[in-house]
Structure 1
Amino acid sequence: MHTQLPKHSIKQALILKANVMHKRLIPKVNAFNYEVYYLSLPLELLESQNKTQLGNLALNRFSLHSFYFKDHGYRDDRSLRQWANDILTKYSQPIWHDITLICMPRVLGYVFNPVSFWVCRDNDQAIKAVICEVNNTFGETHTYLCLPPSSTHSLSPEEPLNSDAKISPQNWLIADKCFHVSPFLPRQGEYHFRFDIQEISTYINIDYYQDKNTKTLITSLKGTFLPLTRKQRLIAFITCPLVTLKAIGLIHYQAIKILIKKIPFIKLPKQLSTHDSKTRNK
C-alpha cells in the first residue's frame, strides 16, 4: 500500500533528503549521482534563533550539524535578510518577507555549498523569486536572481516585474552564464533553471547550454522534505556521513575522470566585476 507523506508547513525548519544528478552530454558523456541532504530554513526562524523551532540546530558554533550566518549573503555582520533584500531591490523587485534558505549545513565544522537557494514567496505562498547563491572551489561566489517570465521581464535592472507573475514548475528560466564553476566548461552560454518546490518535495533542474542549440550538461536536485529534528539529522548523518566533504570530494574525483577522458582543461579566468545577474526571456 502506498503511504502518503504528510504535508509540512513551508514556514517550518525542514531537512531535505535528496539525490543530486549530473550528466555531461558532450564532447564525452560523464554522469554521476549521489545522496545528499539540505536544510530548509525560513529566515524568520533564523532571525528569532528559536532552538526548538530550528530542531536544536547549532547556530554559529561547532557541532555535528551547524549553521553559520557568515557562510551566506554578505558574509559579514550584515544580516541575511539585508543581503536578500538588496539583491531584490537592485533589480527593482518587491521585498518579500517570506524567504526560505535551502542549503547544506556545516558537518563537524566543514561546509561547501555548490549552490544555495533562497526561495521568496508572497502571502499566498506563490514563489515570486529564487536567489541562487553559487560557489566555486576557488572561493568565489556569484548570484543568479531567477524571476518569473512576464511581458515586462527584461535585462534592465530598472524595469519592474509584473507583480502578478509567479514561478511555476512549467517555467524554464534562462540566465547568461557569467561565472566560472568547472574548469572543463567555458564561461559562456546559458543556464536553464526550473523549480518545482512543494510542501513535501522538491525537484530543481539546472541545465547548461554552451550555446542556444547545444545542451552540454544536465543537473538536478530531487528529494523529500521532513521535519528538522535531532532524530532526522542523526539518521541523515548515519546514512550520508560527512555530506559536505562528500560533495567537494566528488567534484575532484569527477575532475580526474574528465581529465582521463581528455576533455580540455580551462584555466580560471578573472571573475567579472559584477557578482550578480538575473534571468531573462528567451
Structure 2
Amino acid sequence: MLTPAIYRTTVTHRRRTPVVHQFAYPSYSWYVDIDEPPRLPWWLRPFAVFDASDHLVGSSGDTLRQRVERFLAQRGVAAPAGRIYALLQARVAGYVFNPISLFWCHDRDEQLQHVIAEVHNTYGERHAYLLPPAETPVAVAKQFYVSPFNPVDGHYLVRAPRPGADVDVSIALFRAEEQVFDATMRGIGYPATDRRVARMQLIAPLAPLVVAARIRLQGITLWLRRVPVVKR
C-alpha cells in the first residue's frame, strides 16, 4: 500500500475471564511514511495532525524518526537506514488517542528489520515494545498497566504484519498459559485523498475521542459486572 493511506477498520476486544465480555467498534487509522507526513489543504488540517510528541519518548522539537531512533538506541539497536512506516491515529480537533501504534523499520534495501508496538492507556501513559520482524505471532512479556482489570503480568502474542491491501493485527494476552484477553484490528486500505479524509469525518467524526469514550464505557460495564479492579 502506498502512503499516505487510510484503513477503515473494525476493532474487537474479547475478555475470557473472570467474565466473558466482548465488543467491537468501527474506526480508522492512518498509514504513513513518518518522514513524509500527509500534506492536506488548510480546511482539512484540523482533522489530521501528526505530532511526534504523541509517540514514544523524546525532547521537545524531536521528529518522529528521532524518537524511533532513540527508542532503538536505548535497546542497543542501530538506527534504521531505510523507511519507517507507521499505523496510527492522527490528532482530530486537537485530541488524539492511540490504543496501539505500530512502526515498521526497514534497512536501505527495504528489508524489514524491527517492529515497534506502542500501547497507550486511558490514563495518558504509553509504553513501547520492540518486536522482531515476523508474519507469525511473537511473544513479549507484558510490562505496562493498560486495563484496571488486568495485572501487569503474563505475556502477549502479537501478530503485526505490515499492511498491504488490508490490515490484520492481533494481540492476545496469556497468563499462566491461559488466554485471558485478545484484541484485533482488521480493515481495508484506501489512498488518503482529500475526499477520503473529508468522508471519514462524516463516517467517524472525532474518531480518537469516540474510541477513548467507548473504552471507558466498557470499563464501567465491567465494573458494574463486579470484575475485580487491579490496583497499580
CA distance in 1, matches of 2:98, 2:60: 17
Structure with higher Rg: it is 1
Q: Does 1:203 align with 2:160?
A: no
CA distance in 1, matches of 2:191, 2:45: 22
CA distance in 1, matches of 2:153, 2:202: 39
Correspondence 1:23-172 to 2 at 5 A: 23-46=14-37, 54-56=38-40, 63-73=46-56, 74=58, 76-96=60-80, 97-147=82-132, 167-169=133-135, 171-172=136-137
Residues 117 and 130, structure 2, Cα contact 8 Å, conserved in 1: yes
Partner residue in 1 for 2:7: 16
Task: Report deviation, 1:90.
Answer: 2.7
Task: Report deviation, 1:64.
Answer: 2.6
Task: Report deviation, 1:124.
Answer: 4.7
Q: What SS does structure 2 have at the residue aligned with 1:255?
A: helix
Partner residue in 1 for 2:188: 224
Residues 55 and 230, structure 1, Cα contact 8 Å, conserved in 2: no
Q: What SS does structure 2 have at the residue aligned with 1:26?
A: coil
- 1:165-203, Cα deviation, whole Å (9 max, x unpaired): xx232x211111111000001111101101232321111
Runs of 4+ aligned structure 1 residues displaced above 4 Å come to none
Work out the percentage of aligned pairs sharing the same amino acid. 27
Partner residue in 2 for 1:186: 151
| TM-score after normalising by structure 1 | 0.76
Task: Report deviation, 1:75.
Answer: 6.0
Q: What SS does structure 1 have at the residue aligned with 2:160?
A: strand
CA distance in 2, matches of 1:94, 1:257: 44
Residues 35 and 65, structure 2, Cα contact 8 Å, conserved in 1: no
CA distance in 1, matches of 2:41, 2:60: 21
Partner residue in 2 for 1:51: none
CA distance in 1, matches of 2:53, 2:230: 30
Task: Report deviation, 1:31.
Answer: 0.3
Distance 1:197 1:57, change over 3 A: farther
2:134 alignment partner AA: S
CA distance in 2, matches of 1:72, 1:89: 16
Distance 1:57 1:16, change over 3 A: farther
Gaps of at least 5 residues in structure 1 are 1-7, 47-53, 148-166, 270-282
Partner residue in 1 for 2:206: 242
CA RMSD, Structure 1 to Structure 2 (Å)? 1.9
Residues 131 and 144, structure 1, Cα contact 8 Å, conserved in 2: yes
CA distance in 1, matches of 2:228, 2:72: 37
Residues 69 and 79, structure 2, Cα contact 8 Å, conserved in 1: yes
CA distance in 1, matches of 2:108, 2:192: 23
Q: Which moved more, 1:249-258 or 1:127-136?
A: 127-136
Distance 1:42 1:57, change over 3 A: farther
Distance 1:44 1:64, change over 3 A: closer
Residues 52 and 62, structure 2, Cα contact 8 Å, conserved in 1: no
Aligned residues: 229
| TM-score after normalising by structure 2 | 0.91
Distance 1:177 1:204, change over 3 A: same
Q: What SS does structure 2 have at the residue aligned with 1:70?
A: helix
